[in-house]
Structure 1
Amino acid sequence: MPSRASAKNQWDFRRGIATARVLVQLGCDHGASLDALLAGTQITPAQLEQSEGEIEASQEIQLIRNLLQALPHIPTLGLQAGTRYHITTYGLWGYALLSSPTLGDAFSMGSRMLNQTFSLTTHKVEQVGSQVQITSFSEHLPEDIRQFVLDRDRSAAITLQRELLGKPVPYNIVMMQRAEPSAELADAYTQVFGIRPLFGQTHDRSLLDAAVMHAPLPQANEHTAQMCEAMCRKLVEARSIRSGMADTVRNRLLRTPGHIPDMEEIAAEMRVTSRTLRRHLTAEGVTFRSLLEEVRSTLTEELMATADLTHGEIATRLGYADVTTFIEAFRRWKGMPPSAFRREQGLARGVTGRGIRRRFIPR
């Protein structure tokens, strides 16, 4: 189990206001009043409407406590909350997950950068034999909200995994420390996890086959991929407004996280030749390469600022053949290597500048 000090560092961080919106909406959907949910949190209704706001972990804890006090008759609140945290709830960090090559890569990045999430539990992911073992820790949390948070965070993880793979992740065993609940609640757990949990265990732990970690991520959830595309498009459009063919091409470059198509592919989808596509873009004063650089440059800066990816991880997500090619491109955009840009902007450096990172899942 993590030490008390390290556990605090892993959960007591400022988090996006989106988590408060999720919890407030859940409460309101069940009939709780907005005033009751926000009491003592120092969160205002106006803050809930802000896309870039942040709150302290202590404010979220008070909000959870209010939610439980307002709706004590609903034992599945935590599970319900977790199903409302979608990839797109997490902003660019969610895009970084969705564009990961495999589930193992997504796990590695997600576990390393837990402070980009809304988790209040802490986690340990390790491979034991042919299985991956995920252990959740909650002893650092107030007892009155502990089970809700465990349910919320584990349910949210399953929601993310399902959206990443496009199908449920098959768990072999799910363990819970809590005592055997009512049959109705046990059924609710079974529906979320896809397997009936073992209750009264020594740990809150899940096990699945390690082979699942090597599964390529297909970005199969069309709705989630579209929302990520819209989010990224908004970022890129803030830099430069496009119209006509240029806008169509740029939007297509953003459509498939983890795979940026070349001009031949886009032209084929548009049922024109690449020569015709090039001529239309030239008439609008742009080139395919300039649009591609525009997309990659903007997403690079955002991923550096919000997801703390290594240069190698960014290169993979933006379709570069290798990290060296990415670094050369970055020099063209900014006149300096990405490591110097990070220092100048006060951005986190990532694990290394060459894309080598710790993996939780051996490959």
Structure 2
Amino acid sequence: MNEWNFGRNIAGIKLLVELGMDYGVDEKKCLSGTGIKHSNLNDAAFIVTGEQELRVIRNIVTLLRGEQNLGLSAGQRYHFTTFGMLGFAMVSSPNLKIALELALRYFNLTFAFCQFSIEETEQEVRVKINADHLPAELRKFCLERDITALITIQRELLEVDSILVQTSLAIPTPSNPQPYIEFFGSRVGFNKKITLAHFDKNKMQQPIRQANPLTLQQCEDQCAKLIERYCSRIGLAARVRAKLINDIHMDMEKMAAMFFMTSRTLRRQLDEEGTSFIKLRDEVRCALAEEYLSALNLSVDETSHRLGYASSSSFIAAFRRMTGKTPLSFKRTNEGGV
């Protein structure tokens, strides 16, 4: 599994969908290919994979290709409350430097795709952000979003002037750099080899006003439990589901081979997670069917063919069993958007 493909709370995708909609992209187009439904967006217990969130980013970036500072806009929407228990742990930390170290220790509770590392000099704490491991067409958005979110949260936790000394961005110089200057300040550079945020070391060690050691300890305990829970929810079943979203025609033998195991082992491990290959395939088929019928406006016959059903009648029966509606009834209900 990719190092960024850890289990995540649905809050990150919900925020991205809201970003897309504010720029005029329909919710269904934002969620296309993810298997995520509208109802999932408001389910605080719903866990998604990094692959699903990256698919939302790809959808939005592709549809809004002309927007120059989309990642900058996205990053400013992330607040410490967005990160739930981790955010409250950070605001309870003694100072910003410890809060940053805490965020890196519980990195799997963030929504980041970039890699973060810290280096220190006598006067600065430098946060290096790398996106080289991500698809080339998504690196600019992810770099912009992740560094902007970092600085947005820093400003919420510690309202100290000039704590950000300078910023180096590994992105092309925008045609209109003013939005970047307004956010990062005048000492922002483009076309750099690496993305770096330079913070004043002394100011980072100033106390956070809301610091509380007891609350911090309680929040850290909860963060550890959340990571354990997310890991258990992002097991083999989630990875099988993600593969099926990309290829719904994949059979169990081929799926098992992709995970370097036998079909018998795959069946046993899925059973241990309380599911089966057939059940997962039905779930994905249902989600894709709803997307094809509503977002892509395909006919019942076209949807049936794409999903690999032997006949339209087989598809109609299966769809009714899974949703309680016929495909045509669902299509009519959802005409005009969510």
TM-score for both structures, normalised by structure 1: 0.58
Q: 1:137 maps to what in 2?
A: 130
Residue 212 of structure 2: which of 233, 236, 258 is its match?
258
Q: Name the CA distance, whole Å, in 1 between partners of 2:61 and 2:216.
A: 44
- Root-mean-square deviation (CA, aligned residues, Å) is 2.4
Structure 2 residue 222 is matched with structure 1 residue 302: yes
Q: Name the CA distance, whole Å, in 2 between partners of 1:133 and 1:208.
A: 6
CA displacement at 1:113 relative to structure 2: 1.6
CA displacement at 1:168 relative to structure 2: 5.5
Structure 2 residue 29 is matched with structure 1 residue 32: no
CA displacement at 1:301 relative to structure 2: 5.4
Structure 1's unaligned 5+ residue stretches are: 220-256, 261-294, 309-363
Structure 2 residue 66 is matched with structure 1 residue 112: no
Residue 208 of structure 1: which of 196, 199, 221 is its match?
199
Structure 2 residue 13 is matched with structure 1 residue 59: no
Residue 48 of structure 1: which of 5, 20, 41 is its match?
41
CA spacing shift, 1:57–1:296, aligned 2, 3 Å? closer
CA spacing shift, 1:298–1:162, aligned 2, 3 Å? closer
CA spacing shift, 1:169–1:152, aligned 2, 3 Å? farther
Kept after mapping to 1: 8 A contact 2:34/2:55? yes
Q: Tell me the matched-pair count.
A: 228
Structure 2 residue 76 is matched with structure 1 residue 94: no
Q: Deviations 1:127-176 (Å, cap 9, x if unpaired)?
A: 02321111101000001111000001011101110110135653222112
Q: Name the CA distance, whole Å, in 1 between partners of 2:140 and 2:56.
A: 15
Sequence identity, in percent?
32
Q: Name the CA distance, whole Å, in 2 between partners of 1:297 and 1:159.
A: 24
Q: Name the CA distance, whole Å, in 2 between partners of 1:210 and 1:297.
A: 24
CA spacing shift, 1:66–1:169, aligned 2, 3 Å? farther
CA displacement at 1:307 relative to structure 2: 7.3
Q: Name the CA distance, whole Å, in 2 between partners of 1:148 and 1:166.
A: 26
Residue 122 of structure 1: which of 115, 120, 123 is its match?
115
Which amino acid in the other structure matches residue 199 of structure 1? F
Kept after mapping to 2: 8 A contact 1:93/1:306? no
Q: 2:311 maps to what in 1?
A: none
CA spacing shift, 1:297–1:62, aligned 2, 3 Å? closer
Kept after mapping to 1: 8 A contact 2:170/2:193? yes
Q: Name the CA distance, whole Å, in 1 between partners of 2:161 and 2:87.
A: 18
Structure 2 residue 78 is matched with structure 1 residue 85: yes
Kept after mapping to 1: 8 A contact 2:163/2:204? no
Q: 1:317 maps to what in 2?
A: none
Which amino acid in the other structure matches residue 217 of structure 1? I
Structure 2 residue 96 is matched with structure 1 residue 103: yes
Q: Name the CA distance, whole Å, in 2 between partners of 1:30 and 1:168.
A: 32
Q: Using CA pairs below 8 Å that are at least 6 residues apart, which structure has the higher relative contact order?
A: 2
Which amino acid in the other structure matches residue 189 of structure 2? L
TM-score for both structures, normalised by structure 2: 0.63
Kept after mapping to 2: 8 A contact 1:162/1:169? no
Which amino acid in the other structure matches residue 206 of structure 2? A
Q: Name the CA distance, whole Å, in 2 between partners of 1:206 and 1:297.
A: 28
CA displacement at 1:25 relative to structure 2: 0.5
Q: 2:188 maps to what in 1?
A: 197
CA spacing shift, 1:31–1:168, aligned 2, 3 Å? farther
Which amino acid in the other structure matches residue 212 of structure 2? G
Kept after mapping to 2: 8 A contact 1:190/1:197? yes
CA displacement at 1:306 relative to structure 2: 3.3
Q: 2:208 maps to what in 1?
A: 217
